[in-house]
Structures are given as structure tokens and as C-alpha cells.
Amino acid sequence: MGEVSIETIPVSSMSDKTLNGFIRKNALALKASEAKLIVKLLGRDPTLTELHIFNIEWSEHCSYKSSRKILKKYLPTEGPTVILGPKEDAGIIELCKRGKDRYGIVISHESHNHPSQVVPYEGAATGIGGNVRDVLCMGARVIASADPLRFGNPFGRKKNYVKYVANAVVDGIAGYGNPLGVPVIAGDVYFSESFDENCLVNVVNTGLVKESEIIHSKAPKNSEGYDIIIVGKATDNSGFGGAAFASLVLDEEEEEFNKGAVQVPDPFLKNILIRATEDVFRVAREQSIELGFKDMGAGGIMCSSSELCESGGFGADINLDKVHVSMENLPPYIIACGETQERFTWISPPQFTPTILKIYNKDFELPNVAEGAKASVIGKVTKNKDYILRFKGDVVCNAPIEVVTKGISYDRKVKQLKRKIREPKLREPKDYNKTTLQILSHPNVASKAQLYKHYDREVQGLAVIRSGEADAGVQAPIPGDKVGYALTVDSNPNYCRIDPYLGGVAAVAEAMRNVAAVGAIPYGMTDCLNFGNPEKPEQFNEFVESVKGVSDAAKNLFLKGTKKPVPFVSGNVSFYNESVSGKAVDPSAIIACVGNLKDYTKAITMQLKEKDSLLFLLGPRKDELGGSVYYLINKQLGANVPKIDYRLERDMIYSVIDLIDKKLLLSCHDISDGGFITAISEMVLGGEADGKIGAEIGISNMGNSRADKLLFSESSGFLFEINKKNINKIKPVLKKYQLKENKDYFIVGKTTNDDKLIINNENKKMINLKIADLRKAWTTGFIEAMK
């Protein structure tokens, strides 16, 4: 093994007790057994820099040491819509073919949970920043964001801190994303006491790239002797240990220390960096120069440079003295592993290096944008497959590059958690008007307009359907072309708390329904899997069951017109979302789905469009109120989580897509949180709560269940509006998918001239509410939660 020229740490001769004390003193997250494995792999004791390197590379965040085997075993990652699967900084899903080339939607899905709980503004902002870099690094133009968020109970015992975190996270997302000019087109928010001590801040970003112009996260072929260039902000000690911090249980006693592991955002520098980087793309394409390019995120220079070189089959020799820094006397492990924001790493042929340096340092004047910012050559790609770091004349790291990047793997134990759950015996509501308003004002259902308007939804001019106007956001990413894509994010933590497997299934099904509801064909997905401590068998079992559910749904709902699974092209696992008290978050498999629209002008929203049109319910109402908002307002959880019938779900999804493609639907909304009553209320109100068309519904033919189960069950389905004259065109499409009237679909009512929502059961008027009353309930619930 390679030799070093500085003092090593005598790990091999330390007792476990002494070694654990050393590890704690030096802010490492390694176990004693892992430190001793490093000795075995290197054939000698490690330097302190090498210990920090393996501390990061072997974290859950970087190595996926608990999850990798499970993900590889279950998740489908290949298919005809995949241009690039989950092996680089971001995945790529086909958008369209134009001439000899294909356009792809680049998508990355990450979490920044721990940082956002400790320093919420900066944590959320840098979460957006890292994800934007992941998409940009594929050679893409970044075009959109989505933000699935989970916060604690805003009315519970920790309400003050919960509200502080929630508001600061939203401010951080807006404060970073708006200056970058990246619109937020999708997202969701759930509140639950499960997230009191561990919020979840997940981020999705998308971009547009031609397949022929993809830049890969690896050193190109024959790149021995190529330069390793770092670009961006001067390295400091901010964010040091961030990857390891993300792989630990949060401890309130160490809050001040943990704040140092959170990076400092600079969106204005990032804006210039993006423009300069796009200019590098342009010149490199003009000159047919092949480059390697990678975001500098977790593990900083060390992770990005080692992964770039190892992926290409090379080694690296780096001089840390050539790294531009903003602080004196930084030790080599901080320079190598610090996670200072707004940085990238390039692998460039020497003849192109002056061009890169000129674009960043001269043309875009990075040194004048931020003190110390610039592009610097720090090393070379080497033929021998060693990873060497030099500092002040010494070799501080010398290890086989494959050993550095390979990571480790654990076979975690699983144990079924015994859940004491049952269906409550609730009396039927005496006042359905009151219950309806309670559901609409629940913060998990209420309008998120206040949130959406905090973000810039119009920037870049690509918006077709904005966040909040439908079940998915829609963009037209290619100017002058009718092709569009839809984006949504989904997961219900209450379902997952009751049954992690069924919760995973439901998340995939709802994500696919949501893109279908605007007329888009599901083409691909990403996942962000947020769970507790993988070292605890019960919590790891929740992870495994959720992944199985997600996998089974993807494999059984199919790409349209095939029997191939809907593929996952990117994703993230976030473990240790647990407080020191042992309380873990509800299992949260959050799914993003990208849908394809051949003609974005056919996309529809959820708002009712015409008076005297017909309303169809697609999907029978079942006794599936477990985890429902109806149960939550009655302080119950329940047991009967919605179960997905794969055949019916496929037929519903793809029939709706066909109907929208044929321009036979006026509006459409999926049925999920709050059930039928929420779906029809939101269709009456519309995304901006400015609806003026009423509706009259009859529920007597929807089934034999009690009225509250028909109205509030969250069984999967759709509610859509049609022009009466098209009824004989619609029924044959439903019949084609073997959907039967009064079994699988129901004509339940009509739109009206009145400013009311009326629900009848036989001849009894159960609900009679003015649109103004619906509006007041729906538009105030979220505001109250955040106030």
C-alpha cells in the first residue's frame, strides 16, 4: 500500500475504549471496528486526514452502507424511457426525440433534513443549492424545483420551534431559489408530531439536456494527465463533517457544534457560477472537448475528485496547497473534506484548461463576485489507481482510489414492529357541514397558496400549470415545441405509520395519478427514503417494507402500453431521522414522478370550467379511512390504509390520460388526502380559490357504505368534469379499460350556476355550503399553522 510522510494515528495498537475516545475527540462518526478495518485495507495505520476521508466515505450519506443491497435488490432502474439511471449526479428521463437527438429531463432528488432542523434557513437553502448543482453537472439547464416538506405539530407542545423551523425553511427555499431563477412547480407539506424533532426537507430539481450533450460525472477515456480543476467559493471550514452529520442521530446538547456542519449559501455567486458554467458547456461543445464534471457536495474536494477519477478508471494526485482558501491555517483534512458551498470539480485536457480558467476568472470575474472565489488547477489525473493528497510537502493521504470510494456494507437485522392499531368506532357526524369545513381547514389539506406565492413560479417563462393549480406542475421546456412534462411529489406519512409497505405502494400510485390528472404519461420516478435508525431492527424493517411497497407498485403499474415497470432514475436515503430520546419520524418514502406530454396545450387543471357539466367519480369508495384526515380531526389513526388494486389503478390512470389526450375532460383531480369531499371542494375553489361554479352531488349510487365513509375515505380514484355532449365518447374509452359503470365509475352530479356545494343522499341534503365558506376554511388552515 502507498506510504505517507507524516505521523500516522496508532489505531492498530489502541484499545476500543481509547480509540472511541479519540474518535469522539476528533469529531469522527466512525465505529472502532470501522477504524480498525481502515488499517487492514491500507496495510498500515492511517493519517488523521485518511481517517476523516473514510469517516465521510463510509457514512450512510455517501456509502449507503445499510441501504445499498436493499435498493439494488428491489428497485427497477431500467426501461425504454431511461437515458441515464441512478449512477451519476442525476438521472435522465426521455422527453422527446427531435431529429437524430433525444431531449431528456434531468432529475435529482435529495434530502437536507438534519441541517434544516438545526439551522433551518441555511439548511433548506443549501439543500436547494446542492441539488441544483447535481442537475447542472449533467450538462443541463436547470428549469424547476419541487419541495416536499414535513414539519412537526404546529399546535402541539413544541409548536413554537416547529413554526420557527417551518417558516425559516420556506424562507430559505425562496431566498435561494428565487435569486437563482429556478421556479418551484410542485411540492407538498404535511404536519405531524412525528416530525417535532426532525423535520424533513426533501428537494427535487429538474433540467433539460440533449442526449448528445450530456456531461458525465467521470474522467473521460484516455484522460491520464488531465487537469483537476476546482471552481467557486474559496474553501473554508463551513460544512465540515456534513456528510457524517447527516448520518447521525440529532442531539440537542450538540446543537451548537452541529451548526458548524451546515454549509453557508450564496445564491448570487451561484447565479454567476451557473452562467459561467453554461458558457463552458457552450465552448466545449463547439470544440468537441470531452470533460468530466461533478458537483462538490458531501465530502468536498475529496469526494468529487476521487469519484470522478475512480469512475473513469484512474487515480488522482492533488496538491492541497493549490486550493484557494479563505482562512489561514486550515488543516489538510478540512481543505480536502470541507463542504463549502458553491463549488464544482472539472476534469479537463490541459489544452482546454486555460479556456476554463479564463471563462470563470476573467469573463465572469469570479474574484470580483465573491472574495477568494475563482477557478484553480489543483492536481492531475493519474494512470496508477492511487488517491494521493499532498500538503506542505508531505503526503497526507495515499490509498488505492477504489478503497477510498468503494464504501462498506452492512447486513442489518429486521424485526416486525408490533403496532397497536385498530379501526375506531366513530358515530356518524351530526353536522356534515361542520365536518367538511374541519377537513378543508386541516393544515395537511388546506391551500398552500401562501407557500407557493412565496416562491417565484413564473421565472424562465416555461410554466403551463403552476404549483397549486393542479395535481402536478407542468412546463414547456423547449421554446417553440409543444412537448411538455409534468412533475409531482407524494407520500402520506400517516399511511406509512400504520403500514410502511402499503404506504410505499400508495405513494407511487398517487404520484402516477397526479401526473395523469393533468394528462401526462408517467415516464419515470425518483425516491427520497426518510427513516429512523437503521441499527434498530424495527426501524430498519420499516425501511425494507417501504422499499418493497415502492418496488411492487412500480413493477405492477407499468409504463403505459407495456408490462415494464416505471423506472427509478435517481434517489436518496436519509437515515437517523431520530432524536436522542429514540423517537423516529414516521416512515416516509417520498416519491417524485415525471410525466410526459406530447402536447402541453392539452394539459388540464382541477378547477371546474363550465356550468351544467357532468361530474364522474372514477374509483369506488371503500372502507379505507386509516390515516385519513377524517380520522385525524377525530384524534384517531385507524388501521384500514387504502389498498391499491393494481389492475384497477392502471386502468384508471391510463383511461384518464387517454380521455385528456382526446380533449374529453374539462377538469380532473385525483382523490387522496381528505377523500371525495376534498376533491370536489378543491375543484369548486380552484388553485387560486377564485372559483365561482358550484356543484350538486348525489352519493346514493356510490355504494352502500355509511355516508361518512363514502365522502371521507381516501381510496384512490379520480373526479373529473365533462361536457354533457361528450358522454357517449367517454364511456367507450372507459369500457376499453374494462371499467364498468356503477362499479368502477359513477356519474355523481353536475356543476351549477349557484355559488354552493350541495351533497345529497337520496332526498336528504347532507351538505349545503356556500363557496365563500369553503374558501374561508380552505385558505386559512395553513396560514394558522404557520402563524
Q: Are 199 and 189 in contact (CB under 8 A)?
A: no
Ramachandran assignment for 461, one of left (phi > 0), alpha (psi -120 to 50 degrees), beta (any other):
left
Compute the average pLDDT of residues 8-16. Answer: 95
**C-alpha cell read off for 348:** 479537463
Span 728-742, pLDDT tens digits: 999 999 999 999 999
pLDDT at 239 over 70: no
Q: Are 417 and 409 in contact (CB under 8 A)?
A: no
pLDDT cut 90: percent of the chain above it: 89
18-44 as b/e: b if 16+ CB within 10 A: ebbebbeeebbbbebebbebbbebbeb
In 3D space, the residue among 140, 18, 26, 4 whose CA is nearest the CA of residue 477 turns out to be 140
Cα 491-673-610 angle, rounded to 5 deg = 120
Q: Where are the chain's structural domains?
A: 1-76, 78-406
- Position 564 scores a pLDDT of 98
Q: Which pLDDT band, with edges at 50, 70 and 90, does 446 fall under?
A: very high
Compute the average pLDDT of residues 319-333. Answer: 96
pLDDT at 502 over 80: yes
Compute the average pLDDT of residues 389-412. Answer: 96
pTM of the model: 0.95
Topology classification of domain 78-406: Phosphoribosyl-aminoimidazole Synthetase; Chain A, domain 2 (3.90.650)
Q: Which pLDDT band, with edges at 50, 70 and 90, does 669 fall under?
A: very high
**DSSP class per residue in 209-251:** EEGGG--BSSPPTT-TTPEEEEEESPB-STTTTHHHHTTS-B-
* H or E element that contains 274: helix 267-286
Span 292-315, pLDDT tens digits: 999 998 899 999 999 999 999 999
Q: Are 356 and 280 in contact (CB under 8 A)?
A: yes
pLDDT averaged over the chain?
94
- Position 786 scores a pLDDT of 96
- Position 485 scores a pLDDT of 99
Q: Are 195 and 120 in contact (CB under 8 A)?
A: no
- Position 454 scores a pLDDT of 85
Compute the average pLDDT of residues 4-24. Answer: 93
CA–CA separation, 94 and 78 (whole Å): 12
Look up 454 and say whether it is catalytic: no
Instruction: Name the active-site residue from 52, 61, 216, 442.
Output: 61
In 3D space, the residue among 415, 318, 316, 337 whose CA is nearest the CA of residue 61 turns out to be 337
- Position 458 scores a pLDDT of 82
E strand spans, 234-342: 292-295, 315-319
pLDDT at 317 over 90: yes
- Position 247 scores a pLDDT of 47
**DSSP class per residue in 334-381:** HHHH---SSEEEEEE-TTTHHHHHHIIIIIS-HHHHSTT-EEEEEEEE
CA–CA separation, 627 and 26 (whole Å): 44
Instruction: Name the active-site residue from 109, 112, 216, 442.
Output: 112
Compute the average pLDDT of residues 735-751. Answer: 98
- Position 253 scores a pLDDT of 45
pLDDT cut 70: percent of the chain above it: 97
In 3D space, the residue among 684, 669, 690, 676 whose CA is nearest the CA of residue 753 turns out to be 684
Q: Does residue 161 or residue 583 have the better pLDDT? A: 161
Ramachandran assignment for 372, one of left (phi > 0), alpha (psi -120 to 50 degrees), beta (any other):
left
Cα 525-266-466 angle, rounded to 5 deg = 40
Q: How many beta carbons lie within 10 A of that of residue 159, not counting itself?
A: 14
pLDDT at 211 over 60: yes
- Position 690 scores a pLDDT of 95
Q: At what angle do helices 267-286 and 120-136 cross, to 10 degrees?
A: 0
pLDDT at 23 over 50: yes
Q: Does residue 51 or residue 763 have the better pLDDT? A: 51
Look up 52 and say whether it is catalytic: no
Span 173-203, pLDDT tens digits: 999 989 999 999 999 999 999 999 999 999 9
- Position 242 scores a pLDDT of 46
Compute the average pLDDT of residues 611-638. Answer: 98
Per DSSP, 520 falls in state: P
In 3D space, the residue among 482, 232, 446 whose CA is nearest the CA of residue 344 turns out to be 232
Compute the average pLDDT of residues 619-631. Answer: 98
